C-alpha cells in the first residue's frame, strides 16, 4: 500500500498510492490497479482490461478510426493465425520475431505438421492476400487497416506497456511508387502527432529511427517519442516505409500504366495500447491518474453532498445538473453511491483522474451555486450554477492546455544538449534525454546502450516542433563526423 511512513492518514492508507518520487514503478502499478484500469490475468504475460480502461481504449479507437476513414482508409479483418512458413519469408522479419512467437500445433485432436503462429504483426498474411487482389495500377492504392490483438512473448509484464497480448490497429497500405508510399508514411505520422498533441495532451517528437532501431523488414521507420515523468522515453507510435521488401517476398505486383510488371511499395503503421501507458505516465501525479479531458471516459463527475434525509433529493438534483452538461456533448457521471463518505468519493475520482469534479450540497442548491474543482489544481471554486455549466467546455479545454503545457515544459527541461561522452553518460544517469551528434554506426549505438542503457530514440524531422535544428558536429561517442545533419535524441526507454 502506501509508503507514507506509518502516518495515521487514513485516506492515504486506504486510497493512496506510492509517491512517484519514492518508486515510479510501484506508483504505476498501483495506479493501474486501484483506478480499475487493468488487472493481472492467469495467462502469462497478459492483462485483463477492466471497464474503466476499456472505456478509455474505446475512445482512443473511435478517434483514430474516424480519422482513418476520413483519410480514405478501409478496415478489414484478417485471421489471428498466420502459417509459420509465412513468417519465414522475409529474412529480417523472421529474425526480429522468431524469439517471441506463440505457436499453435494442435487443432481439436489433430497434431499439425505445419504449425500456425498467433500474429505478432500481419505484414506477411496481408501481403499474401494482396498478391491475389492486385492486378493493375488502377487497383492501387490499397489503404487498409485492422483493429485487433497481437501476440509477442514478454517475460516481465507491465500492464499496457509490456504485455504478451496487446491491442492495436495495424495499417497496411500498398502504392504504385515510392513517393506515394512515403507520403502515406508521413501522413500517418502527422495524424498520430496530432492525436497525441490535440487529444491526449502529449507532446511528442516526430523523427526517423536510426538503422539499428528500425522495424524488422522496414527501409525507413518513423516514430513519435514522448517523455514520461521519470525521464524515460516511450515510443508512442510508428510508421514504416517497407519499400518492396514484403511485396517481393509475397509477390505483390501489378501492371503499370506502361504495361510493365512492378512490385508495389508498401507501408505499415501502428499505435497500440501502450499509448495508455503514455497517458498515465505523462500526466499522473501522486494522487493518481489525470485523464486528458478530450479522451477521458468521464469528463465531469457530479457528487451530490447530502445527509441521510436529503441524499435522494440531492442525487436527483445531481442528475439534473448532469443532464445539462450532457446536453453539451460531455461525458458525465453522477456518483450515486450511498454508504461511503464524501472524502472517499473525492479521493476515488482523483485517483481515477476525472478532469473536473462538481460538488452539489443542499446549501449550494438554495444559493444557486456549485463547487467546482479541477483535477490538476488545488483550488475549489464556488460558481453560479449556470456559469459552471456554460463554462465547462472551456474549462476542459483549459485543462487540456495546462496538461500539454506542463508536459512540454517537463520534456524541454529534462533534455540536455551535450558534446562529450562524459556529459552524455551523466545526463542519462540523471534520467534525462540527451541531444548529441552521432556517427550513425550501429556498433557504436550498441556500445552506448551497453554502457548507459540508452538508445537512439529518433532523429527529429526537419519540421518537428522540438529539437529539429540543423547542425554539424562530431560523434559524441566515436569522434567521427556526425551523420543526419542534426543531433540525435538518446534516452532510456520503456
By the criterion CB under 8 A, which residues form the site for a copy of itself?
39, 41-44, 46-51, 53-55, 57-58, 74-83, 86, 99-110, 116, 118, 125, 128-129, 132-133, 138, 144, 146, 148-149, 151, 153, 164-165, 167, 339
In what helix (H) or strand (E) does residue 406 lie, and over which residues does it extend? helix 392-413
Q: Does residue 287 come out as left (phi exceeding 0), alpha (psi in the -120 to 50 range) or beta?
A: alpha
Residue 317: CB minimum distance to a copy of itself, A = 22
Residue 154: CB minimum distance to a copy of itself, A = 10
DSSP category for residue 136: B
| Alpha carbon distance 73, 415 (integer Å) | 37
| Alpha carbon distance 411, 428 (integer Å) | 14
Residue 175: CB minimum distance to a copy of itself, A = 17
What's phi and psi for 473, nearest 5 deg? Answer: -175, -165
Residue 351: CB minimum distance to a copy of itself, A = 17
Coil, strand or helix: which one is 115?
Answer: strand
| 5 or 99: CB nearest a copy of itself | 99
Residue 186: CB minimum distance to a copy of itself, A = 23
| 11 or 106: CB nearest a copy of itself | 106
| 129 or 201: CB nearest a copy of itself | 129
Extract the C-alpha cell encoding 458.
Answer: 529518433
| 326 or 380: CB nearest a copy of itself | 326
Contact 56, 37 (CB under 8 A): yes
Coil, strand or helix: which one is 352?
Answer: coil
For residue 370, give the nearest of 356, 354, 386 by alpha carbon.
386
For residue 40, give the nearest of 149, 163, 168, 150 by alpha carbon.
163
| Alpha carbon distance 102, 156 (integer Å) | 16
Residue 331: CB minimum distance to a copy of itself, A = 11
| 102 or 421: CB nearest a copy of itself | 102
Sign of CA pseudo-dihedral 482, 484, 485, 486: negative
| 337 or 453: CB nearest a copy of itself | 337
Coil, strand or helix: which one is 45?
Answer: coil
Length of the chain: 494
| 43 or 88: CB nearest a copy of itself | 43
Coil, strand or helix: which one is 455?
Answer: strand
Contact 376, 356 (CB under 8 A): no
Residue 52: CB minimum distance to a copy of itself, A = 9
Residue 275: CB minimum distance to a copy of itself, A = 15
| 50 or 425: CB nearest a copy of itself | 50
Amino acid at each position: 500500500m502506501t509508503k507514507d511512513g506509518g502516518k495515521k492518514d487514513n485516506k492515504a492508507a486506504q486510497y493512496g498510492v506510492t509517491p512517484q518520487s519514492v518508486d515510479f514503478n510501484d506508483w504505476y502499478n498501483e495506479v493501474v490497479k486501484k483506478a480499475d484500469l487493468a488487472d493481472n490475468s492467469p495467462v502469462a504475460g497478459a492483462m485483463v482490461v477492466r471497464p474503466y480502461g476499456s472505456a478509455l481504449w474505446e475512445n482512443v479507437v473511435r478517434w483514430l478510426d474516424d480519422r482513418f476513414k476520413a483519410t480514405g482508409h478501409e478496415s478489414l479483418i484478417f485471421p489471428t493465425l498466420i502459417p509459420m512458413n509465412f513468417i519465414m519469408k522475409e529474412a529480417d522479419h523472421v529474425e526480429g520475431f522468431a524469439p517471441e512467437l506463440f505457436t499453435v500445433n494442435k487443432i481439436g485432436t489433430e497434431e499439425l505438421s505445419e504449425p500456425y503462429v498467433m500474429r505478432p504483426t500481419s505484414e506477411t498474411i496481408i501481403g499474401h492476400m494482396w498478391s491475389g487482389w492486385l492486378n493493375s495500377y488502377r487497383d492501387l492504392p490499397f489503404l487498409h487497416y485492422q483493429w485487433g490483438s497481437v501476440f509477442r512473448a514478454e517475460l516481465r509484464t507491465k500492464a499496457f506497456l509490456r504485455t504478451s497480448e496487446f491491442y492495436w490497429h495495424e495499417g497496411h497500405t500498398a502504392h504504385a511508387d515510392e513517393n506515394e508510399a512515403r507520403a502515406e508514411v508521413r501522413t500517418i505520422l502527422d495524424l498520430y502527432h496530432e492525436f497525441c498533441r490535440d487529444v491526449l495532451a502529449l507532446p511528442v517528437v516526430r523523427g526517423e529511427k536510426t538503422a539499428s532501431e528500425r522495424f524488422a523488414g522496414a527501409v525507413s521507420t518513423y516514430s513519435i517519442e514522448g517523455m514520461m515523468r521519470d525521464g524515460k522515453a516511450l515510443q508512442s507510435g510508428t510508421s514504416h516505409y517497407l519499400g518492396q521488401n514484403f511485396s517481393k517476398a509475397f509477390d505483390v505486383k501489378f501492371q503499370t500504366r506502361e504495361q510493365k510488371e512492378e512490385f508495389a511499395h508498401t507501408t505499415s503503421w501502428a499505435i497500440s495500447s501502450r499509448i495508455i501507458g503514455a497517458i498515465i505516465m505523462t500526466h499522473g501525479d501522486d494522487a493518481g491518474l489525470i485523464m486528458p479531458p478530450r479522451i477521458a471516459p468521464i469528463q465531469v463527475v457530479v457528487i451530490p453532498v447530502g445527509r441521510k434525509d436529503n441524499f435522494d433529493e440531492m442525487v436527483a438534483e445531481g442528475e439534473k445538473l448532469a443532464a445539462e452538461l450532457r446536453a453539451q456533448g460531455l461525458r458525465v457521471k453522477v456518483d450515486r453511491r450511498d454508504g461511503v463518505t464524501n472524502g472517499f468519493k473525492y479521493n476515488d475520482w482523483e485517483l481515477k483522474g476525472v478532469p473536473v469534479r462538481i460538488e452539489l450540497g443542499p446549501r449550494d442548491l438554495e444559493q444557486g451555486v456549485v463547487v467546482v474543482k479541477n483535477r490538476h489544481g488545488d483550488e475549489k471554486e464556488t460558481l453560479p450554477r449556470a456559469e459552471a455549466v456554460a463554462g465547462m467546455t472551456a474549462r476542459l479545454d483549459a485543462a487540456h492546455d495546462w496538461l500539454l503545457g506542463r508536459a512540454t515544459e517537463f520534456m524541454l527541461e529534462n533534455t540536455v544538449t551535450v558534446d562529450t561522452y562524459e556529459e552524455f553518460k551523466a545526463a542519462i544517469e540523471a534520467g534525462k534525454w540527451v541531444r548529441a551528434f552521432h556517427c550513425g554506426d550501429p556498433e557504436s549505438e550498441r556500445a552506448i546502450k551497453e554502457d548507459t542503457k540508452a538508445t537512439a530514440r529518433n532523429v527529429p524531422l526537419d519540421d518537428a516542433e522540438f529539437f529539429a535544428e540543423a547542425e554539424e558536429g562530431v560523434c559524441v561517442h566515436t569522434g567521427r563526423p556526425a551523420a543526419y545533419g542534426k543531433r540525435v535524441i538518446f534516452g532510456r526507454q520503456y
